[in-house]
Amino acid sequence: MRVHFIVHERFEAPGAYETWARKRGHDVTYSHLYAGDALPADAQGIDLLIVMGGPQDPATTSEACPHFDSKGEQALIASAVKAGKAVIGICLGSQLIGEALGAPFAHSPEKEIGKFPITLTEEGRRDALFSHFAKSLDVGHWHNDMPGLTPEAKIIAFSEGCPRQIVSYSDRVFGFQCHMEMTPDVVELLIAHSDKDLSRAAEYRFVDTPEKLRAHDYSEMNQVLFEFLNKLEKRYKAAQA
């Protein structure tokens, strides 16, 4: 597969998504937007588009963040979806998918930073791509917002702090508000850029301290993510056959 990552910030790294792509021997390319890379002109050379997170939201303007082109990313996502590509959005990426499909993002009821459980819905338990998920699974979080819902969207998982943790927009397009890609290295990058939020951890129900973030084991959720990606790859290839 040809896997392309859109990376908004150095500290919002692909983590376990990149590990999976490289272990599977896929052709991996990047748009490191923070470093001045351009977005792909179109989705023709991509099989799986993975749009990472960032401190921006879909309403962030180019004046506020010169390297972020929300409308440009939405156009690329929409073209990838129309062309039948596989698309995954993480955090900001999930919100951009919703926006690209006509569903405005929203603020989450709670700020979540750390490792907390998500729960599969009935729709989630019926989807074969999530059949290996436990009904409740501890995963990474680092967000204030959540993706919008199209009329066709299905909520796959929710948490106590956020009702839209995983959203299926079609059988090959998924938004992950949660961060199952976190690894110890990714967490260190995030900690280094989140002094303001983490210094106020005690004020929030679902915000871990840096010490607790470092103490978590992220390997189990990474393995669950790998199996989801294996299944998505198989589904995509079957559709192309």
> Quick one: average pLDDT of 121-147?
97
> Quick one: average pLDDT of 154-158?
98
- Predicted confidence at residue 195, as pLDDT, reads 81
> Quick one: average pLDDT of 170-186?
98
Domain that holds residue 63: 2-240
- Residue 86 is inside which H or E element, if any? strand 86-90
> Quick one: average pLDDT of 106-114?
96
> Quick one: average pLDDT of 121-128?
97
> Quick one: average pLDDT of 1-22?
98
- Residue 72 is inside which H or E element, if any? helix 70-82
Distance CA 187, CA 168 (A): 26
Q: What percent of the chain has pLDDT over 90?
A: 94
pLDDT digits (tens, 9 = 90+) for 28-84: 999 999 999 999 999 999 999 999 999 999 999 999 999 999 999 999 999 999 999
Distance CA 113, CA 125 (A): 25
pLDDT digits (tens, 9 = 90+) for 215-230: 999 999 999 999 999 9
- Predicted confidence at residue 241, as pLDDT, reads 81
The total number of structural domains that make up the chain: 1
Query: Could you tell me the CATH number of the domain that includes residue 182?
Result: 3.40.50.880
- Predicted confidence at residue 201, as pLDDT, reads 84
